[in-house]
């Protein structure tokens, strides 16, 4: 079914992200997981290299997935790769409102690029990076939401 790009900060990478990646890999011939190297609105916990390493490690078994970094508008990155589809995951109605706004803006900027949404699997529908960081900052476990190596790294970053 062609190629798609799944862009995001992936900070931290969660089982929800991996769910979208696995499902996207089953739909598309090639899925590029594009890690945002810079952000105007977010201050990442992990470096670009750390986020890429987590994603590469946890998607290594998916032969049609590759992980790259981009430092432009996502839609410009997608077009630069000659790809016509952006893949996004939606967890909640508030996600839908944000993602719909982004998809319409991307369509204005690049009418030749489509956005395809997949609904989060139920068990991952409430996971967010903010909640993960908050739980860890108070000494809780997030092993149900992120792989063990990611949890250990977050604890190391947040001093727990």
As a whole number of angstroms, the distance between CA 35 and CA 71 comes to: 9
Please list, in sequence order, all residues whose beta carbon lies within 8 angstroms of the beta carbon of residue 148, skipping any fewer than 6 positions away: none
CA angle 6, 9, 13 (to 5 degrees): 85
Q: Which domain holds residue 112?
A: 3-123
How many domains is the chain built from? 1
Residue 40 has pLDDT above 60, yes or no: no
As a whole number of angstroms, the distance between CA 62 and CA 25 comes to: 7
CA angle 16, 22, 23 (to 5 degrees): 90
Domain CATH number, residue 75: 3.40.50.620
As a whole number of angstroms, the distance between CA 117 and CA 24 comes to: 10
pTM recorded for the entire structure: 0.93
How do residues 76-119 score in pLDDT, each as one tens digit?
Answer: 999 999 999 999 999 888 889 999 999 999 999 999 999 999 99
Task: Establish if 102 belongs to a structural domain.
Answer: yes
Q: Sheet harboring 3-8: ordered strands across?
A: 65-70, 30-36, 3-8, 85-90, 114-119
Task: Establish if 41 belongs to a structural domain.
Answer: yes
Taking alpha carbons only, the member of 35, 38, 37 closest to residue 8 is: 35
Task: Establish if 145 belongs to a structural domain.
Answer: no
CA 53, 70, 6, 14 torsion: positive or negative? Answer: positive
Task: Establish if 22 belongs to a structural domain.
Answer: yes
Task: Establish if 149 belongs to a structural domain.
Answer: no
Model confidence band, residue 39 (pLDDT cutoffs 50, 70, 90)? low
Residue owning tokens 């078994």: 61
């Amino acid at each position: 079914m062609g190629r798609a790009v799944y862009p995001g900060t992936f900070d931290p990478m969660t089982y929800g992200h991996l769910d979208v990646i696995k499902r996207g890999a089953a739909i598309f011939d090639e899925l590029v997981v594009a890690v945002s190297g810079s952000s105007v609105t977010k201050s990442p916990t992990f470096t670009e290299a750390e986020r890429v390493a987590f994603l590469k490690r946890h998607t290594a078994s998916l032969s049609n997935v590759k992980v790259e970094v981009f430092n432009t508008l996502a839609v410009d990155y997608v077009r630069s790769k000659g790809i016509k589809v952006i893949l996004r995951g939606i967890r909640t109605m508030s996600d839908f409102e944000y993602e719909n706004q982004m998809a319409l803006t991307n369509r204005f900027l690049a009418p030749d690029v489509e956005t395809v949404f997949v609904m989060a699997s139920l068990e991952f529908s409430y996971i967010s990076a903010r909640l993960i960081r908050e739980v860890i900052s108070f000494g809780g476990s997030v092993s149900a939401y992120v792989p063990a190596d990611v949890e250990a790294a977050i604890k190391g970053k947040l001093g727990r």
